[in-house]
Amino acid sequence: MTQFILNNQQVQPNLPAGTTILDFIRYHKHLKGTKIGCREGDCGACTVLVGELVDGELLYQSMTSCLMPLENAHGKHIVSVEGINQESLSPVQQAIVEEGGTQCGFCTIGFVMSLTGFAMNSETANQDNAIASIDGNICRCTGYKSLERAAARICDMKKGKPEAADFNWLVQEGFLPEYFKDIKSRLEAFSDKEKKEMTAKKIVGGGTDLYVQRPEEMVKTELHSVLNERGMRTISEREGHVYIGAAATAEDVRSNPLMQKIFPNLREHMKLVSSTPIRNMATIGGNFVNASPIGDMTIFFLALDATLLLTKDDNSRIVKLRHFYKGYKELDLAEGEQVEQVYFKMPPANAAFNFEKVCKRTHLDIASVNCAMLIFTKGDVISGAHLAAGGLAATPKYLGQTALFLAGKQINSETLFAASQLIQTEVSPISDARGSAEYKRLLLRQLFYAHFLKLFPGSVSLASLTQAKNA
């Protein structure tokens, strides 16, 4: 049976494992502080904190409870706003009040929980990180300047926090109630017999897509959560390849030192991928299997020419990610198979990578078009490349012909203009809510140019690309 700690109470919900944490909190525990907003993980009104033991350390992340099944809470500490309330306001609550950061109050709980999570985590206490912690919360009334001021005050208060996780300091300073000091030992006390055996057939990762597309079906489904399997969330290097477990979240990838070393601009790239609470939940394997033509992480890994390890019982096989997609939402995945791992060859010193995305909002939105490129150079000559784009076909698109064309070419505006014409022959976009087919073709060209403008500013410029077009 699923069991976890909700605020200060150990619970064993006698409910389907697919029931959302939001509904359990509000309708079964009658804790009404957590609000129902969009039910799509977009507004942040239902934000809770999720504490989990990772390598012996208790870590908390903000997550949207409207997309989180009970199954994913097993063995964890779920904190709603009632779980941080005390006799007086916490420093986070006080800062929001004093800076005028609340009006109707509907979104306030989400901001309180996200900023409390920021106060608890190990992120450096600076304004950028404070603002980033609330990037998944939408305010309908006050605007954001008052909330930014509140975040700045909390950031200043956090500067006194010890670097290591220190719940004694957080309790002493009033951020958290006293009971938080005992949560680690209480989670450690879950015996092996209490650990849930996963026997259900429906595999779920973070649920960030399934609960948007099929919420009623998911609530009634018995689930097998891979998000709880820490062994499927590892990121490691061996024999010249990087291996990532399919249950690794987008945040696992973003914060991993090895990935940051390989991709110096990784934090900038990942900022384009949804919001903090969603990145804390969404799994890499789930993004692949979802098979969306605009999946951000799918395009990212297609440009690395990544390979998938698929398993079923004791059998396994490998398939290139570029060959995994057979048609719209059709996969090279047999009944009962699951994605176990994704791996790619460690890029050499002469490689450079870039990811670009355009959507209706700068952040927190699905792509109109996204594009990624891994390029190898020798001097000013391209020795090889991998290129991928989304939003332009029925499947995520590996642009093999254009990548092959680039090999052996000099990096200049003439090469790029010729490649930009060829790349248009590889895609067949359709007009939809995210833009017309003509607009998407324009975006693809511009994002293709953006890779080179960002990576090789000394070799190409907007002016030279314009001249090449007019020549």
Q: Is residue 287 domain-shared with residue 372, that is, in the same domain?
A: no
- 182 and 73 together in one domain: yes
Of 20, 15, 16, which is closest to residue 36 (Cα–Cα)?
Answer: 20
- Residue 331 resides in a domain: yes
In this predicted structure, what is the pLDDT of residue 310? 97
Domain harbouring 406, CATH code: 3.30.390.50
More confident residue, 400 or 226: 400
Burial 403-412 (b: 16+ CB within 10 A, else e): bebbeebebb
Q: Do 74 and 154 fall within a single domain?
A: yes
Residues 357 and 291 in one domain: no
pLDDT one-digit tens code per residue, 134-186: 999 999 887 789 999 999 999 999 988 887 668 999 999 999 999 999 999 99
Asked if 48 and 175 sit in the same domain, the reply is yes
- Among 318, 345, 372, the domain-final residue is 345
Give mean pLDDT, residues 25-31.
97
Residues 390, 295: contact at Cβ < 8 Å?
yes
pLDDT for position 217? 87
pLDDT score for 243: 98
Taking CB atoms within 8 Å and a gap of at least 24, the contacts of 219-223 are: 219/16, 219/18, 219/19, 219/20, 219/23, 220/16, 220/18, 221/16, 221/17, 221/18, 222/16, 222/17, 222/18, 223/17, 223/18, 223/69, 223/71
Provide the CATH number for the domain around residue 187.
3.10.20.30
Asked if the model's pLDDT at residue 388 lies above 50, the reply is: yes
Compute the CA torsion angle 90, 93, 98, 99 (nearest 10 deg): 140
pTM to 2 decimals? 0.92
Half-sphere exposure of 427 (CA within 13 A, CB side): 33
pLDDT of the residue at 26: 97
Confirm whether 420 is domain-assigned.
Answer: yes
- The verdict on residue 200 lying in a domain is no
Q: Does residue 16 belong to any structural domain of this protein?
A: yes
Question: Of 325, 345, 365, which closes a domain?
Answer: 345
Burial string for 376-396 (b: 16+ CB within 10 Å, else e) reads: bbeeeebbbbbbbbbbbbebb
pLDDT for 324 beyond 80: yes
β-bridge partners, 223: 202
Give the span between the Cα atoms of 68 and 212, in whole angstroms.
11
> Are 325 and 436 found together in one domain?
no
Rounded to whole angstroms, the Cα distance separating 228 from 285 reads: 14
Domain co-membership, 445 together with 431: yes
Q: Which range of residues forms the domain containing residue 316?
A: 230-345
| Residue range 197-211, pLDDT digits in tens | 545 567 888 888 889
Q: According to the model, what pLDDT value does residue 131 have?
A: 94
Give how many domains the chain has, as a whole number. Answer: 3
Is residue 123 domain-shared with residue 28, that is, in the same domain? yes
List the CATH number of the domain containing 286: 3.30.465.10
- Claim to verify: residue 91 and residue 66 sit in the same structural domain: yes
The reply to whether 261 and 115 lie within a common domain is no
- Bin 55: left if φ > 0, else alpha if -120 < ψ < 50, else beta: left
Q: What is the pLDDT of residues 222-255, one digit of tens each?
A: 888 888 888 899 999 999 999 999 999 999 999 9
Residues 302 and 381 in one domain: no
Q: What is the mean pLDDT of residues 78-107?
A: 95
- Clarify whether residues 322 and 401 are in a common domain: no
Residue 199 is predicted with a pLDDT of: 53
Token readout for 317 is 């096989």
CA dist 65 → 69, 108, 121, 150, 363 (Å) = 8, 15, 19, 24, 21
173 lies in some domain: yes
Per-residue model confidence (pLDDT) at position 201? 62
Asked whether residue 304 is domain-assigned, the answer is yes
- pLDDT higher than 60, residue 192: no
Is residue 18 situated within a structural domain?
yes
Judge whether residue 196 has pLDDT over 70: no
| pLDDT at residue 379 is higher than 70 | yes
Q: Is residue 372 part of a domain?
A: yes
For residue 193, pLDDT over 50 is answered with no
